[in-house]
Amino acid sequence: MRNMTKTVEEACVAAEVRHSGLRVSRTQFASFLRDKALLANGQPLAHGGDLAFAFCCARGDAIAIAAFETTYVPPLVRLLKQQGFSLDLTDEAVQRLRTLLLVGDDDSPPKITDYKGHGPLDAWLRVTGTRLARKLITRDKLANAEGDDVLLETRTMGDDPELAFIKGTYRGAFRQAFREALTTLEPRARTLLKQHTIDGLSIDALAPIHGVHRATVARWLQQAQVNLLNETRTRFMKLAKLAPEECESVLRMVESRLDVTYRRLSDI
C-alpha cells in the first residue's frame, strides 16, 4: 500500500508550488483526508494539489483566499458572461459563490469542502458556479410566474383544444413517466443532461471536464436525450393508457422543449 505520508506530502507541495507563499499543514490536511475517507484506498491523489488548496481555502487561509480571487474568480466571471448571463446576475452569482464556498451558510461549513479532488478544481468551480447562476435565474422566473406548470403551459399550446385537454388530464401521468425515465439512465447520461441543461455548460465546456473530444460528448448527450424520450414515451403510454398515436402530441412538445422539461421536472 502506498505510504500515506508521501501522498499527503506530494499534494501539499503541489499546492505550495502553484500558489506562492502558501503553507499547508501536513497533519491537519492528513486529518481532513481521513475524515473524508479520501485516503482509504492508499492511492495517489489525482488532483492532490487542488485538494490541498481547497482545504486551505476552507480554513480561511488568507493567502489561499487571495489566490482563489486571482486564479479562479476571473475565469468564472468570463464563463458566466460567455453563457449569456447579465452583468448583474454574474456579479450576484460570484458573490454568493464566494460566501457559500469560503464562508458557509447558516450552520453549513464552506461548500468548498465538498470538493473531493476527482477532477480539476477549476472544472468543479465552473459547474458549481454555473449551477448557482441557473438557480438564480430559476428563482427569478418562479417569483414572476403566473402558474405552477411550465412544461404544459397554455402558451406552448396556442389555442389547440386537444393539447389543452391533455394538459388537464394527463399532467400527473407525464410527470411520473418523465421522472421514472430519468432513473433508468446510466449515471454518466444523467450527469451530462444535468450539466448541459441545468448548469448550462456547452459541449465545448463539457469535453475537458469529461476528458474526451467534443464530438464524443455530443454523441453521449444525443444518446442520453434519445433514451430519455423513448423511456418517457413508453412509460407515459402505460400510465395514461394511451395508444402510441394518442400520446405523440405531448411527446413532440416535450422533445421540442426538452431543456424546459428537464429543468422543471428533474429532481434526482
* Residue 105 dihedral angles phi and psi, to the nearest 5°: -135, 120
Check whether residue 220 and residue 157 sit in a common domain: yes
Give the pLDDT mean for 229-255.
71
Whole-angstrom distance, CA of residue 242 vs CA of residue 203: 36
The whole-angstrom separation of Cα 268 and Cα 264 is 12
Q: Which residue has the higher pLDDT, 69 or 130?
A: 69
The larger pLDDT score, comparing residue 143 to residue 140, is at 140
| Domain end (from 106, 140, 174) | 140
Of 115, 140, 165, the last residue of a domain is 140
29-33 — which CB contacts under 8 Å span 24+ positions?
A: 29/55, 30/4, 30/5, 33/8
Cβ partners under 8 Å of residue 200, min gap 6: 83, 130, 133, 134
Measured CA to CA, the distance from residue 161 to residue 104 in angstroms comes to 50
Choice between 247 and 76, residue whose per-residue pLDDT is larger: 76
Mean pLDDT of 63-76: 91
pLDDT digits (tens, 9 = 90+) for 125-134: 888 887 777 7
**Which cell is 131 given?**
449551477
Q: What is the pLDDT of residue 91?
A: 83
**Is the per-residue pLDDT at 237 higher than 90?**
no
pLDDT surpasses 70 at 181? yes
122 and 28 fall within a common domain:
yes
The verdict on 97 and 162 lying in the same domain is no
The string of pLDDT tens digits covering residues 106-118 is 677 888 988 888 8
- Express as a percent the part of the chain with pLDDT over 90: 19
213 and 251 share a domain?
Answer: yes
Of 137, 166, 138, 140, the C-alpha closest to 153 is: 166
Whether the Cβ atoms of residue 103 and residue 112 lie closer than 8 Å to each other: no
- The SS3 assignment for 31 reads helix
Q: Measure Cα distances from 45 to 116, 118, 183 in Å.
A: 10, 8, 31
The per-residue pLDDT for 19 is 94
Same-domain status, 150 and 131: no
164 shares a domain with 89? no
Q: Is residue 184 a contact partner of residue 166, using CB atoms and an 8 Å limit?
A: no
pLDDT at 88 over 50: yes
With a cut of 80, say whether residue 174 has pLDDT above it.
no
- The answer to whether the beta carbons of residues 53 and 15 sit under 8 Å apart is yes
The number of domains in the chain is: 2
Residue 146: predicted pLDDT: 40
Query: Looking at the structure, do residues 18 and 134 belong to the same domain, yes or no?
Result: yes
Report the pLDDT value the prediction gives residue 45, as an integer from 0 to 100. 79
DSSP codes, 206-261: HHHHHTS-HHHHHHHHHHHHHHHHHHHHHHHHHHHT--GGGSHHHHHHHHHTHHHH
Q: State the Cα torsion 104-105-107-111 to the nearest 10°.
A: -40
Q: How far apart are the first and last CA of the chain?
A: 37
Percent of the chain past pLDDT 70, that is, above it, reads 72
Residues 116 and 225 in one domain: no
Question: Is residue 153 domain-shared with residue 40, that is, in the same domain?
Answer: no
Domain boundary among 140, 164, 188: 140
- Give yes or no: residues 211 and 228 share one domain: yes
Confidence of residue 144 (pLDDT cuts 50, 70, 90): very low
Residues 100 and 179 placed together within one structural domain of the fold = no
Q: Which residue has the higher pLDDT, 241 or 78?
A: 78
Where does the pLDDT of residue 149 fall: very low under 50, low under 70, confident under 90, or very high at 90 and above?
very low
Q: Residue 221 is part of which domain span?
A: 146-265
pLDDT at 119 over 60: yes
* Average pLDDT for the chain: 77
Does position 12 have pLDDT exceeding 90, yes or no? yes
Q: 12 and 114 share a domain?
A: yes
Measured CA to CA, the distance from residue 35 to residue 91 in angstroms comes to: 34
Q: Within 10 A of 242 (CB to CB), how many other CB atoms are there?
A: 16
Confidence band (pLDDT; 50, 70, 90) for 40? low
Does the pLDDT at position 51 exceed 90? Answer: yes
The answer to whether 92 and 123 are in contact (CB under 8 A) is: no
Predicted pLDDT at 242: 63
DSSP state of 116: -
